[in-house]
């Protein structure tokens, strides 16, 4: 499931904190900070979508992510590959390596990663 940009930003803060109360989350935002009610609404939506949960401490809620950042990102990239590259990872890789401004060093690093993954798959 794709999150709205503001929801992704909130999740980024929560992923980096691992858990936090509303005041902790608000402190992560640059000035001018959003209203606490805005953050509360987003947290409620994220909980309904299954992205966050909370523990009650009196009247306060400590929020924590239910979905790991890598899992969210992986699903997002796989959806991108499916929707824009005919479900072909090689088409995606071709586009990515040709259309982005990667240096020779970065391309060499990618080559090493791919070669290592090929070795791992053959084991």
Whether residue 39 has pLDDT greater than 90 = yes
* Within a domain: 56: yes
What is the tally of structural domains in the chain?
1
pLDDT band per the 50, 70, 90 thresholds, residue 38: very high
* Within a domain: 58: yes
pTM of the model: 0.76
E-strand stretches of the chain: 20-21, 52-57, 60-65
Whole-angstrom distance, CA of residue 3 vs CA of residue 14: 14
* Within a domain: 106: no
* Within a domain: 80: no
CATH number of the domain at 48, please: 1.10.10.10
Per-residue pLDDT reduced to its tens digit, 66-116: 999 999 999 888 888 888 888 888 888 888 888 888 899 999 998 899 889
Whole-angstrom distance, CA of residue 43 vs CA of residue 23: 13
* Structural domain range at position 31: 5-65
* Within a domain: 42: yes
Whether residue 52 has pLDDT greater than 90 = yes
């Amino acid at each position: 499931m794709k999150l709205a940009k503001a929801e992704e930003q909130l999740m980024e803060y929560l992923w980096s904190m691992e858990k936090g109360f509303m005041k902790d989350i608000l402190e992560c935002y640059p000035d001018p900070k959003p209203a606490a009610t805005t953050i509360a609404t987003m947290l409620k939506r994220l909980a309904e979508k299954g992205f966050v949960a909370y523990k009650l401490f009196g009247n306060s809620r400590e929020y924590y992510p239910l979905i790991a950042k890598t899992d969210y990102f992986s699903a997002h990239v796989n959806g991108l590959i499916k929707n824009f590259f005919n479900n072909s990872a090689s088409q995606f890789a071709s586009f990515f390596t040709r259309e982005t401004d990667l240096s020779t060093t970065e391309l060499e690093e990618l080559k090493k990663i791919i070669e290592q993954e090929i070795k791992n798959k053959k084991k």
